[in-house]
């Protein structure tokens, strides 16, 4: 007999935003799917269950006609399954392949990082959120998309506005207005840049989509996905990796002595504090998951931020440990919708942005006078990272 879904109703939304991990621990112990009243959602928090779900898109579908993402961005590849999803994903992939990232984007990313470090170096102190991580992520994304130099703060605002709009379950009119403004801004850039990319084939995502003959509405929708999903996550991964290393001097020394450790250090950072903590799926037919009955059309949240701290998968999961045994994590999702930008993010964060920062800012350390803040659960990362270095 399937069990009724357990409920957590004694935590607030603020508790989730401040520190979701104790709540995830409780949920993981209570059952395979647990309703969190404060977030109005049923969450899957165990690593093995999310892995099983992502192997079965017929039962756990990404198609969701009523989704706010579709309302804000159009009918994107993220809310499609099967051949429709595959075709749209293939159209953007040439810009995101490992070889493209290494050959084309790495030199440009390196120049972006070094320019920013040149600017902030003389001050001897900075909040790395605004002074480094956010501009690096935005300027890098501008290159990959083929946007031709949109101001980084504008791109960051558009990205945030789209994500806020996609999570605007309360229907706040101001949030909806900003999301619509971002969508219009992005469409204007596409209109301006597309003729150039059609006539001058190149490595950018806009060019790849144009060469693949994608219709304009698909280009609009999927470029918005890349703007929404391709900026805050690398930004947060940069900050989290810097934080993990600064809090663990032994691990920092090991990485600085052996550059081959930058890769494992990056994977550990996004496991430890996953920039995307949760994404949704729709139950397409009645099913039982880990003994919990799920109805057709039930929405569930795949809480990869919790799964990446599942003690059944990772020993002492709350610890940042770049030496833990190699195990795949779920920070980039899994299955057909596995993050398309994984390789670009790896090159940007673990090969360039963070190594350049440690190499060029002598004796980089946390600023004892200003605390680090970390917030969020659907999206989570440091919101300030004050540091100092020797000049």
Binding site for ligand HEM (CB under 6 A): 77-78, 89, 141, 144, 225-226, 229-230, 233-234, 237, 270, 275-276, 279, 331-333, 337, 339-341, 344-345
Query: Considering only CA atoms, which of 24, 17, 13, 22 is closest in space to residue 307?
Result: 24
Of 8 and 346, the one with the shorter C-beta distance to ligand HEM is 346
Least Å distance, CB 173 to ligand HEM, is 26
Cα separation, 367 vs 372, in Å, equals 9
Query: Considering only CA atoms, which of 12, 14, 3, 39 is closest in space to residue 278?
Result: 39
Cα separation, 333 vs 127, in Å, equals 29
Of 23 and 226, the one with the shorter C-beta distance to ligand HEM is 226
Of 244 and 389, the one with the shorter C-beta distance to ligand HEM is 244
Least Å distance, CB 65 to ligand HEM, is 16
Least Å distance, CB 390 to ligand HEM, is 29
Of 183 and 344, the one with the shorter C-beta distance to ligand HEM is 344
Of 161 and 388, the one with the shorter C-beta distance to ligand HEM is 161
Q: What angle do CA 29, 271, 93 make, to 5 degrees?
A: 125
Least Å distance, CB 68 to ligand HEM, is 13
Q: Nearest 5°: phi and psi at 299?
A: -90, 135
Least Å distance, CB 342 to ligand HEM, is 7
The 3-state DSSP class for residue 66 equals coil
* Residue 60 neighbours by CB distance under 10 Å: 25
Of 252 and 281, the one with the shorter C-beta distance to ligand HEM is 281
For strand 41-44 and strand 33-36, is the pairing parallel, antiparallel, or unpaired? antiparallel
Token pair in block for residue 95? 């810009």
Least Å distance, CB 371 to ligand HEM, is 24
Of 234 and 355, the one with the shorter C-beta distance to ligand HEM is 234
Please enumerate in sequence order all residues whose Cβ is within 8 A of that of 295, keeping only pairs 6 or more positions apart, or say none.
283, 286
Least Å distance, CB 125 to ligand HEM, is 26
CB nearest ligand HEM: which residue? Answer: 341
Q: Nearest 5°: phi and psi at 272?
A: -60, -55
């Amino acid at each position: 007999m399937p069990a009724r879904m357990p409920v957590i109703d004694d935590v607030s939304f603020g508790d989730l935003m401040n520190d979701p991990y104790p709540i995830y621990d409780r949920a993981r112990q209570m059952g395979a799917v647990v309703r969190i009243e404060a977030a109005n959602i049923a969450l899957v928090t165990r690593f093995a269950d999310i892995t099983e779900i992502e192997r079965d898109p017929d039962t756990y579908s990404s198609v969701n006609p009523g989704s706010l993402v579709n309302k804000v961005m159009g009918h994107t590849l993220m809310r499609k399954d099967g051949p429709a999803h595959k075709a749209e994903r293939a159209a953007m992939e040439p810009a995101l392949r490992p070889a493209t990232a290494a050959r084309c984007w790495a030199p440009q990313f390196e120049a972006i990082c070094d320019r920013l470090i040149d600017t902030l170096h003389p001050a001897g102190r900075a909040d790395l959120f605004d002074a480094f991580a956010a501009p690096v992520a935005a300027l890098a994304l501008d290159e990959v998309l083929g946007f031709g130099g949109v101001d980084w703060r504008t791109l960051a605002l558009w990205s945030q506005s789209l994500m806020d709009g996609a999570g605007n379950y309360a229907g706040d009119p101001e949030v909806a207005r900003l999301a619509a403004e971002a969508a219009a801004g992005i469409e204007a850039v596409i209109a301006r840049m597309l003729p150039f990319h059609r006539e001058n084939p190149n490595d950018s995502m806009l060019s790849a989509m144009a060469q693949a003959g994608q219709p304009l509405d698909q280009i609009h929708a999927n470029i918005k996905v890349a703007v929404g999903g391709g900026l805050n996550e690398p930004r947060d991964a940069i900050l989290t990796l810097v934080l993990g290393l600064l809090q663990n001097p032994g691990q920092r020394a090991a990485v600085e002595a052996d550059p081959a450790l930058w890769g494992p250090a990056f994977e550990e950072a996004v496991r430890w504090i996953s920039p995307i903590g949760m994404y949704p799926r729709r139950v397409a037919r009645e099913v039982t998951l880990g003994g919990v009955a799920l109805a057709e059309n039930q929405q569930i949240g795949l809480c990869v931020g919790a799964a990446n701290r599942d003690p059944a998968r990772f020993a002492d999961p709350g610890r940042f440990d770049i030496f833990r045994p190699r195990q795949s994590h779920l920070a980039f999702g899994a299955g057909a919708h596995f993050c398309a930008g994984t390789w670009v993010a790896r090159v940007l964060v673990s090969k360039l942005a963070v190594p350049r920062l440690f190499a060029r800012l002598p004796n980089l350390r946390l600023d004892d006078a200003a605390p680090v803040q970390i917030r969020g659960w659907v999206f989570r990362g440091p919101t300030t990272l004050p540091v100092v270095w020797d000049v």
